[in-house]
Structure 1
Amino acid sequence: MIEANTRAFRAATLALCFGSAMIFANLHVVQSLLPTFAQQFQLTELEASWSLTITILTLGLSLLVYGPLSDAIGRKPIMVVTMAGAVLTTLALSQVESYTSLLVLRGLQGLFLGGLPAIAIAYMGDEFTRKAVVLAVGVYISANSLGGVTGRMVGGFVGEHFGWAAAFGAMGVLSAVLLAVFVWLLPKSQNFHPKPLHPVHIARDMGGHLRNPVLLVAFLIAGGNFMIFLNQYSYITFVLAAEPYHLSPHALGLLFLTYLSGTLAAALSGRVTQYFSAPVGMGLGIVLLMGGTLLTLIPHLYAIVWGFMVSSLGFFLTHSLASSWVSHHALQARASASSLYLVFYYMGASVGGFVLAPFWAWEGWLGIVVGSLLVYSLTLGCSVWLYRWQVQAESRKVWV
């Protein structure tokens, strides 16, 4: 087993971080380019957002496949093959001329992008000691957000100066380099033991998780929050590209630096639980999401940036606590419970553009804020339900 703070630990953790950054950079590279797509292909805001939505949708669905598949045939081979597929589709995207072709390739790309997120933590569990896993997972999650920021900035900068097709080309070259480093650094599996695929057992485990209200409510919190949080970024790009801001794609890419406050929140989430229960911490995060959303109504660029920083802080705080809650409260098959959590997480993001579209058509950004607060009110109610369940569960233990 790989011990913490050894050469093998640093190599494996660095490899998984580079791989994670590559995955999420490719996923989010289009987000700062949405106004460009709308202008280039004569699209509505919702149609332009499909370039992100379809990738998130197929990525989320692929998570149901890669986890069980890796249990049967191994971790590293699937990660390498799927990452190579992502590189090839990114390079192919630099050659398309129609929006339909772009959407088809982005959908295919999502299927490849799901490989590493579905398997990385399982690889750590196989190869690392328990202490090493705790250290590595925190760094790995930070790499997720850094990859997303990098992709948006590359898309914005290259797209502004050389065109959107060149943005995919640059991302493809960068991804190929990161893949080579990943293959070189990541040790081969030494402690992997294959397990036969049992689709009936897998379906039974998933059904059990969905019938468990303590898990299902956490799934709904994850899906509802990401539904709004991610798609707010998509719609705000159209606001900031228009009057009176007239931000360029490069400047829009810089907006996503606000994600970095979420990296801090993820690191601090463990300390929050020293003072509050997990449901209270989730509720606090959702209140921050609501406050940050309201702050964006101030018609000043700095206020909007601060609003998104506050929202990012709240989102990643809630996300970290909710994912830990699922891991701790799954009665069995914890790996499949975590996979199902991520499916809800990404499915929520994939439908968010459609959910918010009527509010955008009704009253522009003000409508987005109203729709956001409605959904956040529901997820806040879910956190209150979890708190009440926890109090009742603890009182039953006392009486027993």
Structure 2
Amino acid sequence: MQFIQTKNQISWQTISSLFLGSFVTFACLYCTQPLIPLFSEQFQVSPAAASLSVSLATGFMAAFMLIAAWISDAKGRKVIMGISLLSTAVLQIFIGFSTNFTWLLVLRAIQGMMVAGFPAIAMAYIAEEFDPATSGLVMGIYISGNSIGGLTGRMVVGAVTDFFSWQNALLTIGIISLAAAMWFWLKLPASRNFSPRPRAVPAIIGVMWNTVRKPQLLLLYLIGFLVMGSFVTVYNYIGYPLMAPPYSLSHTVVGLIFVIYLVGTFSSTWLGSLAITAGRPRVLLLAICIMAAGCLITLGASLLLKIAGIAVFTFGFFGCYSVVSSWVGQCAGNDKASASSLYLFFHYTGASVIGAWGGNFLDEYGWNGIVALTVIALLLALALLAALLLYTRRRECLITP
């Protein structure tokens, strides 16, 4: 096999392309999150309806990731990823010209379908094209594009909205994304170690069904559903109390709060390594409890307490994400690709379903309702963790710390 080496120009062009692809995916996916309160006000819609600007994109992405991976196995990696990124960027520019909320939601749903082609395939490309000795480094750089893209998209949108308009803000993200997508298309080398593996739809469904039938994996998928749903719910609606009296923060300042995402870079690494020595069950229990504690801290009246609570909550989430992802791989056996795809499906479906549902709680009970919904979801995640431990002890599943 001909691996890409990390000490030449081609390698860094490839790595930068993958980083920018990740950047585009998450900058576009979550760019409307800081605008949810503004959509409520401008279009006279409920928080739940306004949150569909995020939930539709994540929901359609979750569903179409499974289809994109299937097409990629037959047609190739680069072409599907490239089409995904270019179409995502072009749609983002169209979204910047939206004046009607219904049209905005339609475009966001289509964008969710198209953006699915990159995250569904990028990790497979890295595993196939890079030497295993260096693929960990490349994967880390790729994942950093997730957080930096999501963070930059939210901050740019907040700042540009304050000075110009939300349409200009979304258009700005579209132009940046188009430039990054073109770099990706021009600089990413075609696959050298990929061989087409077309599979019939019944065969794919059979593999997926066999994966879901494993109780350990199903419980981990449901934990991921609840944890990601809780995380997105808090971030979807935190702008409402922060932009209202007595805080009355601007879009720019609310956008800066997303810098808290950077604590996830530390927590995912630290708690992920702690799981090796202390065991995944204990660390996951700790991380979920940290999320719940952080959410409860946001009930404090002080602005500093709210921000501190969000930081603690975010720290716990990225720890959960790291531990559950690795645990899925541990339990998957020979079906790692299918197990990972289904995990991401549940992960983003949770973001879509619970994230949208949270708007009804905000409408009825204010921020207290969001905290209640989030804590209940996390308690359910703890119950599922307990069920997982009971099952593995009885069946002696080979889950090692």
Does TM, normalized by the shorter one, top 0.5?
A: yes
Higher mean alpha-carbon deviation, 376-385 vs 48-57, is at 376-385
Report what 2:208 is aligned to: 206
1:162-177 aligned at under 5 Å gives the runs 162-177=164-179
TM-score of the superposed pair, with normalisation by structure 1: 0.95
- State the shift of 1:189 in Å: 0.9
Identity of aligned residues (%): 36
Report what 2:15 is aligned to: 13
Deviations 1:15-73 (A, max 9, x none): 11111011100111111111211111111111111111111111111111011111111
> What runs of 5+ residues in structure 2 fail to find an aligned partner?
none
Report what 2:319 is aligned to: 317
Aligned counterparts of 2:245 and 2:110: Cα–Cα separation in 1: 35
Q: 1:271 is aligned with what amino acid?
A: S
Report what 1:369 is aligned to: 371
Q: 2:205 is aligned with what amino acid?
A: A
Q: 2:184 is aligned with what amino acid?
A: F
Report what 2:101 is aligned to: 99
- State the shift of 1:269 in Å: 3.6
Deviations 1:218-260 (A, max 9, x none): 1011110111111111111111111111111111111111111
Q: Is the 8 A contact 1:69 1:197 kept in 2?
A: no
Matched, 1:32 2:34: yes
Deviations 1:144-163 (A, max 9, x none): 11111111011111111110
- State the shift of 1:188 in Å: 1.6
Report what 1:128 is aligned to: 130
Q: Is the 8 A contact 2:55 2:356 kept in 1?
A: no
Q: 2:219 is aligned with what amino acid?
A: V
Cα distance change on mapping 1:153 and 1:326 into 2, 3 Å: same
Report what 1:74 is aligned to: 76
Matched, 1:382 2:348: no
Q: Is the 8 A contact 2:274 2:283 kept in 1?
A: yes
Cα distance change on mapping 1:132 and 1:395 into 2, 3 Å: closer
Report what 2:278 is aligned to: 276
Deviations 1:70-93 (A, max 9, x none): 111100000111111111111111
Q: 1:88 is aligned with what amino acid?
A: V
For the aligned residues, what is the CA RMSD?
1.7
SS in 2 for 1:297: coil
Report what 1:334 is aligned to: 336
SS in 2 for 1:275: helix
Aligned counterparts of 2:148 and 2:154: Cα–Cα separation in 1: 10
- State the shift of 1:210 in Å: 1.2
Cα distance change on mapping 1:134 and 1:294 into 2, 3 Å: same
Q: Is the 8 A contact 2:237 2:359 kept in 1?
A: no
Q: Is the 8 A contact 1:290 1:311 kept in 2?
A: yes
1:236 to 235, 238, 243: 238
**Number of aligned positions between the proteins:** 397
TM-score of the superposed pair, with normalisation by structure 2: 0.95
Aligned counterparts of 1:250 and 1:164: Cα–Cα separation in 2: 12
SS in 2 for 1:335: helix
Q: 1:202 is aligned with what amino acid?
A: I
Q: 1:313 is aligned with what amino acid?
A: F
Q: Is the 8 A contact 1:21 1:143 kept in 2?
A: yes
2:288 to 276, 286, 289: 286
Cα distance change on mapping 1:94 and 1:343 into 2, 3 Å: same
SS in 1 for 2:247: coil
Report what 1:142 is aligned to: 144
Q: 1:48 is aligned with what amino acid?
A: A
SS in 2 for 1:11: helix
- State the shift of 1:7 in Å: 4.0
- State the shift of 1:5 in Å: 4.8
Deviations 1:291-337 (A, max 9, x none): 10011011111111111111111111111111111112113321111
Q: Is the 8 A contact 2:230 2:354 kept in 1?
A: yes
Q: 2:340 is aligned with what amino acid?
A: S
- State the shift of 1:267 in Å: 2.3
Cα distance change on mapping 1:248 and 1:209 into 2, 3 Å: same
1:260 to 240, 262, 279: 262
Aligned counterparts of 1:276 and 1:143: Cα–Cα separation in 2: 29
Aligned counterparts of 2:81 and 2:362: Cα–Cα separation in 1: 38
Report what 2:186 is aligned to: 184
Cα distance change on mapping 1:355 and 1:35 into 2, 3 Å: closer
Q: Is the 8 A contact 1:31 1:152 kept in 2?
A: yes
Cα distance change on mapping 1:185 and 1:175 into 2, 3 Å: same
SS in 1 for 2:246: coil
Aligned counterparts of 1:396 and 1:89: Cα–Cα separation in 2: 45
Report what 2:157 is aligned to: 155
Q: Is the 8 A contact 2:230 2:377 kept in 1?
A: yes
Q: Is the 8 A contact 1:239 1:365 kept in 2?
A: yes
Q: 1:79 is aligned with what amino acid?
A: M
SS in 1 for 2:195: coil
Q: Is the 8 A contact 1:4 1:131 kept in 2?
A: no
Matched, 1:356 2:349: no
SS in 2 for 1:95: coil
Q: 2:327 is aligned with what amino acid?
A: W
